[in-house]
């Protein structure tokens, strides 16, 4: 017993040490490309978003998680700047039409994305590529074309930031604002009426990681200095995060690996539990006896009751009533009086011989007058009725 206590105590101490070590160990760096203004991870945009008021002190910053088409159609948009920083764009024809109207009124649109999207690629004739530095070289550097913004020393960033460039664009309309060390354009401008569209080949220039690198904040501020301030700065999150409708509880679960694994384990455990309980608690299903047809027994009981009562008149009246209802429903004949005229109509409608039709109508007229009916009269009536059923058409 004493040895067991020692074993339990040592195991508990080791477990506590393990839990403390797991709790205090440094969390791994999350290198996810989120481009979210809420994320402080390396590839979030928390820093640049919160410094927009320094770049545009007289403008109100307004985040939007709706497609540009809905922003301009549903909300009132003041003069200013529209900024999109994302890995890839979700713009379609309708979104770009609204942005074009916005620019032609004297506003600027700034887009930094590595995948511009099919519509922008086709309409603006823009394509982006990546070039790798040669071995034993400093790497790809970047700088501005404008002498007032150009740095004496070109900007060099790690993690491949700045290696993207425009290898295809409309040279007749494009104004080159920035190039890399190989002379390829990575920052261009398209005039639209009184405004302009600014395209940056890489969104990573504006991430938290790059903003904290030497020259990173300077490069980002110079690039955004081309934008003319207005009453508001619209910060688009639709391309990077999707619409608000996509932020469901299940989306949050599947977004984080820990919650995703917990969800899958819970589903698997529930499935195992259900299968185990089904096998354990299933009982034998008893064999159900088929339903018995008691119609014949019912008829026999009713017949015995009538037989014992000897009420032939009641039976005769019921059979006559049933026969007249049959004639009415099938031949559309209603017997007002049991006479030769009705017998003639019944003869023509049913197709039976004249003797049977006349005799049946005459017998019905007689029995309706009798208070008592003999057994023989009931038998004769039944024969005539059965013969009518068989011979009528």
Of residues 245 and 331, the one with the higher pLDDT is: 331
Q: In terms of domains, do 264 and 139 share one?
A: no
Of the listed ranges 95-99, 204-208, 300-304, the one predicted with least confidence: 300-304
C-alpha 313/C-alpha 328 separation (Å) is 22
How would you write the chain as a 3-class SS string? CHHHHHHHHHHHHHHHHHHHHHHHCCCCCCCCCCCCCCCCCCCCCHHHHHCHHHHCCCCEEEEECCCHHHHHHHCCCCCEEEEEEEEECCCCHHHHHHHHHHHHCCCEEEEEEEECCHHHHHHCCCEEEECCCCCCCCCCEEEECCCCCCCCCCEECCCCCCCEEEEECCCCCCEEEEEECCCCEEEEEEEECCEEEEEECCHHHHCHHHHCCCCHHHHHHHHHCCCCCCCEEEEECHHHHCCHHHCCHHHHHHHCHHHHHHHHHHHHHHHHHHHHHHHHHCCCCCCCCCCCCCHHHHHHHHHHHHHHHCCHHHHHHHHHHHHHHHHHHHHCCCCCCCCHHHHHHHHHHHCCCHHHHHHHHHHHHHHHHCCCCCHHHHHHHHHHHHHHHHHCC
C-alpha 386/C-alpha 378 separation (Å) is 12
C-alpha 235/C-alpha 324 separation (Å) is 88
In a domain, 225, yes or no: yes
Q: In terms of domains, do 211 and 229 share one?
A: yes
Q: Which has the closest alpha carbon to 73: 41, 42, 101?
A: 101
Per DSSP, what are the bridge partners of residue 36?
Answer: none
3 — pLDDT class (breaks 50, 70, 90): low
Averaged pLDDT for residues 21-45: 83
Write down the pLDDT at residue 146: 94
**pLDDT(249) > 70:** no
Write down the pLDDT at residue 376: 78
Averaged pLDDT for residues 259-284: 72
Q: In terms of domains, do 98 and 158 share one?
A: yes
Q: In terms of domains, do 93 and 236 share one?
A: yes
In a domain, 37, yes or no: no
Q: In terms of domains, do 88 and 163 share one?
A: yes
Taken as a whole, the chain contains a residue count of: 393
- Residue 174 Cα distances to 65, 71, 124, 171, 188, angstroms: 29, 27, 10, 5, 6
pLDDT, tens only, 314-353: 777 777 788 888 878 888 877 777 777 777 777 787 878 8
Q: In terms of domains, do 329 and 383 share one?
A: yes
Residues with Cβ within 8 Å of residue 193, at least 6 apart in sequence: 103, 104, 105, 106
What is the signed CA dihedral for 116, 119, 123, 128, rounded to 10 degrees?
Answer: 20
* Sign of torsion over alpha carbons 62, 65, 68, 73: negative
**pLDDT(203) > 90:** yes
Write down the pLDDT at residue 231: 92
pLDDT, tens only, 17-26: 877 776 677 7
Q: In terms of domains, do 66 and 211 share one?
A: yes
255 — pLDDT class (breaks 50, 70, 90): low
In a domain, 113, yes or no: yes
Structural domains of the chain, count: 3
Q: In terms of domains, do 220 and 265 share one?
A: no
In a domain, 112, yes or no: yes
Write down the pLDDT at residue 139: 78
Of the listed ranges 91-100, 118-127, 237-246, the one predicted with least confidence: 237-246
Q: In terms of domains, do 211 and 260 share one?
A: no
In a domain, 8, yes or no: no
Of the listed ranges 59-63, 199-203, 260-264, 325-329, the one predicted with least confidence: 260-264
Of the listed ranges 119-128, 203-212, 222-231, 259-268, the one predicted with least confidence: 259-268
**pLDDT(133) > 90:** no
Residue entry with tokens 């209802």: 325
In a domain, 29, yes or no: no
In a domain, 10, yes or no: no
C-alpha 196/C-alpha 105 separation (Å) is 10
Of the listed ranges 25-29, 293-297, 333-337, the one predicted with least confidence: 293-297
Q: In terms of domains, do 255 and 340 share one?
A: no
Of residues 256 and 109, the one with the higher pLDDT is: 109
Q: In terms of domains, do 208 and 266 share one?
A: no
**pLDDT(277) > 70:** no
Write down the pLDDT at residue 357: 77
Whether residue 369 contacts residue 316, with contact meaning beta carbons closer than 8 Å, is answered with no
Of residues 210 and 20, the one with the higher pLDDT is: 210
The domain that contains 191 carries what CATH number? 3.40.50
Of the listed ranges 61-75, 163-177, 253-267, 296-310, the one predicted with least confidence: 296-310
Averaged pLDDT for residues 48-72: 92
Of the listed ranges 128-137, 277-286, 314-323, the one predicted with least confidence: 277-286
Reported pTM: 0.59
Q: In terms of domains, do 196 and 232 share one?
A: yes
Range of the domain at 176: 46-242
The three-point CA angle 341-346-347 to 5° equals 95
In a domain, 17, yes or no: no
């Amino acid at each position: 017993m004493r040895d067991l206590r020692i074993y339990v105590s040592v195991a508990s101490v080791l477990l506590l040490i393990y839990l403390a070590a797991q709790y205090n160990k440094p969390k791994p760096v999350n290198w996810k490309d989120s481009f979210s203004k809420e994320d402080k991870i390396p590839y979030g945009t928390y820093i640049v978003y919160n410094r927009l008021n320094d770049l545009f002190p007289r403008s109100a910053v307004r985040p939007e998680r709706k497609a540009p088409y809905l922003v301009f159609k549903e909300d009132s948009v003041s003069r200013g700047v529209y900024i999109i920083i994302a890995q890839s764009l979700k713009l379609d024809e309708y979104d770009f039409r609204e942005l074009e109207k916005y620019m032609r009124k004297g506003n600027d649109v700034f887009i930094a994305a590595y995948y511009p999207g099919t519509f922008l690629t086709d309409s603006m004739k823009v394509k982006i590529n990546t070039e790798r530095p040669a071995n034993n070289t400093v790497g790809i550097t970047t700088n501005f074309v404008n002498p007032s913004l150009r740095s004496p020393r070109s900007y060099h960033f790690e993690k491949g930031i700045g290696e993207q460039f425009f290898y295809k664009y409309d040279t007749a309309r494009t104004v080159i604002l920035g190039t890399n060390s190989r002379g390829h354009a990575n920052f261009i401008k398209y005039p639209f009426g009184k405004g302009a569209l600014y395209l940056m080949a890489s969104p990573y220039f504006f991430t938290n990681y790059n903003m904290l690198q030497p020259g990173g904040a300077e490069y980002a501020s110079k690039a955004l200095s081309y934008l003319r301030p207005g009453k508001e700065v619209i910060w688009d999150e639709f391309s990077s995060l999707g619409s608000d409708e996509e932020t469901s509880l299940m989306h949050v679960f599947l977004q984080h690996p820990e919650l995703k694994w917990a969800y899958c384990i819970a589903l698997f455990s529930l499935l195992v539990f259900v299968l185990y309980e089904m096998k354990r608690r299933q009982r034998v299903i008893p064999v159900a006896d088929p339903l018995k047809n008691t119609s014949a027994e019912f008829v026999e009981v009713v017949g015995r009751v009538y037989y014992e009562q000897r009420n032939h008149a009641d039976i005769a009246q019921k059979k006559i009533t049933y026969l007249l209802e049959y004639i009415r429903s099938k031949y559309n004949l209603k017997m007002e009086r049991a006479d030769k005229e009705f017998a003639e109509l019944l003869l023509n409608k049913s197709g039976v011989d004249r003797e049977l039709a006349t005799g049946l109508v005459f017998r019905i007229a007689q029995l309706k007058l009798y208070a008592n009916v003999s057994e023989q009269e009931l038998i004769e009536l039944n024969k005539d009725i059965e013969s009518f059923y068989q011979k009528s058409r």
